[in-house]
Structure 1
Amino acid sequence: MANRDPDDTLAFYRHNAAAYAARERQPPTARLAAFIGRLPPGAAVLDLGCGGGHDSLVLLEQGFDVTACDGSAELAAEAQTRIGRTVEVVRFQEIDWHDRFDGIWAEASLLHVPRAELGDVLARVLRALKPGGFLQASFKAGDKEGHDRFGRYFNYPSEPWLRACFEQAGWSEFAISKADGGGYDGEPTRWLHVAANRAD
């Protein structure tokens, strides 16, 4: 498994986009509500790695100016059908927005960024926020990168490693919490949830 390419992740979503997007999935109510509670009315929000668009739909229903994007063209098409507006196809390494968003929602998405590239991607995410803007992101905890039984790549960070990665990318204000849960693979999962702010 260790020799598989991170691009196997995009191959999985390419071949399984319809089933993945159509699955029974409830948005993470408490975290999403906390995220929404920090946003001003009509805020510009990026749903980064939006998957099937479930969370984008909630954000749109709350009246926010939502930009939804995903690295998989096939998943983006599924999300576009769900939310009724254009979903951009953008890989994490291509993020090039500057001072654009009040909030960035990255639910179970940045966990697919190769470890060697995560620092650069986190710096890009930081630049995409307006001063005072904030990021909510989640990662599957672990101690080394690898793949799940579907062939999807995960960076599986430990809390200290992830903290160092955020610091090296230029983030000075962030907190990491832990929670047990599950995922698409049905396996018990320890999650690392990051709430990070771009300094004013």
Structure 2
Amino acid sequence: MKIRYNYVKKEDVKYCRSSDTVREAYDYLKQTGYRSVPVLEDGGKKFAGLIYKVTLLEHYLENDGKDEDSLEQLIRDQDAFVSEEESFIKAFLSIKRLPFLAVIDEGGEFTGIMTHANIMDVLEDSFGLKTGGYLMTVATKEHKGAIKELVSTVKDVNIEGLLTLDNGDYLRRIVVNLSHELTEKKLNKIISKLEEKDFRVTFIDDVQQGKTAAGKA
């Protein structure tokens, strides 16, 4: 999955200009309520970095800063950007310490930002929280071909998503997103087939109805 399908477009992004003064930037952050916004230059085409409200306050309180001081010296995280052609995984790993990531196109022009909310939307979609269904958590001893065997066991049912947890551990958990069209009778049959293969269904979440039910022990 590429970044280009999951970010806030430029026209909906609040930002400062690199030519702004410290006072202009501080007033703008107060007005918008954000703790950080991107800073753009070259008429709003190029990403210059991030400006933080806390950085502006430190400039005033600790460095005896003046209202008319240039914003450029206070810009931080100039490398906080990803290309819209990058994979979702790169953004997921890069955004951890940041409030958001700037997104640039192949020509290096600023096109928007990816926020933590965008990341959560993708994860919610992978868990089936938007379309509904059953999230089945399956525990198994780590061994070669475990996922292939699990998928083969439930091959008669539409698998809408798959997520593995505890990778590298002796015991692994696999979360399988099954279609909401699955009947309870069919679900119980799948559980039985999995347990015959030494998989253990530890939990089942009914996302469609907002209910959860413990799986067989």
* TM-score range for the pair, normalised by the shorter chain length: under 0.3
TM value normalised by structure 2: 0.24
TM value normalised by structure 1: 0.26
Find the structure with the greater CA-based Rg: 2
Give the number of the structure whose residues are more often helix, by fraction.
1
